[in-house]
């Protein structure tokens, strides 16, 4: 009977999965950048592409520190997230709405990576792989910063711009009980299209 795998085996598997995820992201990020209209958003994606290339090199260092061959294993999770991002980019949205959707797609990827690196750091620490833990923590910090930057852009105007385009007649929040007039308004809007 084959010996049961250990946490170390699971750790190496997870590293391979993450290595592949980063490689997939180096192909996806330029597409997000190209689809972005807001200059700051485009440059955020471009900056994160450079960081991602550094993260791939960092993972190679992690493999070396563990005397493991550098190898990836197809990451289905990030492939699905990238696929969803692609279908969003095929939609016919106005520019600001598309930017809001690109941020949503980007943040899904960042959160997936944060979960992966959070686990990797914890496992590396638990097993005493201190060099690997330090390297993986550096990437985790970059992923968190990238996520925060996207939140900042969304909340710093892009979401509001998209919301204003969705509800151009709303000067301020509607009072409670205005449902009927709001329904009239939205049917009028539909009719104008
Ligand atoms: Fe990454
Ligand atoms: Fe990332």
Q: Which ligand is nearest to the CA of 116?
A: 1
Q: How many CA atoms lie within 13 A of 142 on its CB side?
A: 21
Taking only the tens place, the pLDDT of each residue in 80-99 is: 999 999 999 999 999 999 99
124 by Cβ neighbours in 10 Å (0-12 / 13-18 / 19+) ranks as: buried
Count of all residues that appear for the chain in the document:
193
Please determine, for residue 193, whether its predicted confidence score (pLDDT) is greater than 50: no
How far does the centroid of ligand 1 lie from the alpha carbon of residue 143, in Å?
Answer: 6
d(CA 169, CA 69): 60
- Residue 91's contacts (CB-CB under 8 Å, 6 or more residues apart) are 98, 101
d(CA 97, CA 99): 5
Looking at residue 176, its pLDDT comes to 56
Q: Which ligand is nearest to the CA of 18?
A: 1
Q: Which ligand is nearest to the CA of 58?
A: 1
Taking only the tens place, the pLDDT of each residue in 125-184 is: 999 999 999 999 999 999 999 999 999 999 999 999 999 999 988 765 555 554 544 444
- Predicted TM-score (pTM) of the model is 0.86
Buried b (16+ CB within 10 A) or exposed e, 5-22: eeeeeebbebbbbbbbbb
How far does the centroid of ligand 1 lie from the alpha carbon of residue 22, in Å?
Answer: 5
How far does the centroid of ligand 1 lie from the alpha carbon of residue 188, in Å?
Answer: 46
Rg (CA), the chain: 21
Q: Which ligand is nearest to the CA of 109?
A: 2
Q: Which ligand is nearest to the CA of 117?
A: 1
Report residue 78 as tokens: 């990030």
Looking at residue 192, its pLDDT comes to 41
How far does the centroid of ligand 2 lie from the alpha carbon of residue 79, in Å?
Answer: 14
- For residues 124 and 50, the answer to whether their CB atoms sit within 8 Å is no
């Amino acid at each position: 009977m084959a010996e049961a795998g250990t946490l170390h085996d699971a750790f190496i598997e997870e590293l391979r999965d993450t290595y592949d995820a980063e490689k997939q992201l180096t192909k996806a990020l330029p597409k997000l950048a190209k689809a972005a209209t807001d200059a700051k958003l485009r440059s955020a994606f471009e900056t994160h592409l450079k960081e991602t290339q550094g993260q791939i090199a960092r993972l190679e260092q992690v493999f070396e520190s563990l005397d493991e061959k550098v190898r990836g294993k197809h990451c289905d999770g990030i492939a699905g997230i990238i696929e969803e991002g692609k279908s969003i980019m095929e939609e016919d949205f106005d520019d600001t709405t598309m930017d809001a959707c690109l941020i949503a797609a980007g943040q899904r990827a960042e959160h997936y990576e944060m979960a992966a690196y959070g686990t990797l750091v914890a496992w590396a620490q638990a097993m005493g792989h201190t060099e690997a833990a330090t390297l993986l923590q550096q990437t985790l910090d970059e992923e968190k910063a990238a996520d925060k930057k996207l939140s900042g852009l969304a909340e710093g105007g892009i979401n509001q711009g998209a919301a204003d385009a969705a509800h151009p007649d709303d000067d301020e929040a509607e009072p409670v009980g205005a449902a009927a007039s709001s329904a009239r308004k939205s049917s009028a809007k539909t009719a104008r299209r």
